[in-house]
Amino acid sequence: MENIVMKIAFFQSELTWENPAENRKNIERYFRNTPQAIDLFVLPEMFTTGFTMHPHEVAETLDGETIGWLKGLAAEKNCAITGSLVIKENGKFYNRMIFVFPTGKVAFYDKRHLFTLAGEDKIYTKGEEKVIVNYKGWNICLQICYDLRFPVFVRNMEQYDLLLYVANWPKPRINAWNALLKARAIENMCYTVGVNRIGTDANHLEYPGHSQVLDCMGMERLNAHNESGIFCCELDLLQQNAARDKFHFLNDADRFTLD
């Protein structure tokens, strides 16, 4: 069934270092206090642990406790939930963005661009596939943090409607976060949502938030700045389609293939 208006909410908060139980408890408290019906709830990157390079200590499986917990919350609120966590599969570790439908169906995207500056590429296995999920008539492209710096992979050749980035993006480079989110929205002519965390992690990295929603012209619809909580916004597919019909910039994009 197609939804012309997508009611989206995202969670911005501190994360307790490598403590899935405590983070689930905190997220659930906020989630249950969401004051309105929502279609999609977005969590940050590695929302159960923070951006850890210790997957042996915290990794879960697709049959694990957090996935079951997400399914329960999605069914309770009749909404989809997405965010990334550390997943172990076939002896390998992935920074995996999970998308849980209200029915309990699970889709996922494995982070393609691993953050070499932190050694993520030495510990995690990179994804190869671009993933676009269809939910309530919206085509949604899933991306994780460092992916934001690489526009070719996410180029909107599929006419997707919504681009989601979940992140642990630190304060020294927050100007890039703000600029690149706007660029991705404009060049792909789609709603773009970036969800970051706040607080300080065990590596003494500070995260300033700036989770935000941008429309297809790059105009800011919502910015959480450095606040903690649940933030809600309505996205209108008819408005976006009208802008695309008027300007049809996507029709003039170069065609290419990726190695």
Distance (Å, whole) CA 202 – CA 107: 30
* CA distance to 12, 82, 142, 173, 223, per residue, from 232 (Å): 11, 15, 19, 25, 10
Distance (Å, whole) CA 115 – CA 211: 20
* Tokens 């959480």 belong to residue: 224
- Asked if 246 is an active-site residue, the reply is no
Q: Where are the alpha helices (DSSP H) in the chain?
A: 20-32, 55-58, 65-77, 120-123, 151-154, 174-188, 237-247
How many other C-beta atoms lie within 10 A of the C-beta of residue 151? Answer: 14
- Asked if 111 is an active-site residue, the reply is yes
Distance (Å, whole) CA 150 – CA 70: 29
Residue in 111, 130, 136, 182 annotated catalytic: 111
Residue in 145, 182, 190, 216 annotated catalytic: 145
**Residues shown for the chain:** 259
Distance (Å, whole) CA 156 – CA 42: 21
* CA distance to 36, 95, 109, 113, 196, per residue, from 116 (Å): 40, 13, 19, 9, 19
- Asked if 145 is an active-site residue, the reply is yes
Distance (Å, whole) CA 32 – CA 47: 17
Given a contact cutoff of 8 angstroms between Cβ atoms, the answer to whether 206 and 171 are in contact is: yes
Query: Which strands sit side by side in the sheet containing 132-135, from one edge to the other?
Result: 132-135, 138-144, 162-166, 191-195, 212-214, 220-223
Question: Annotated active-site positions, please?
Answer: 45, 111, 145
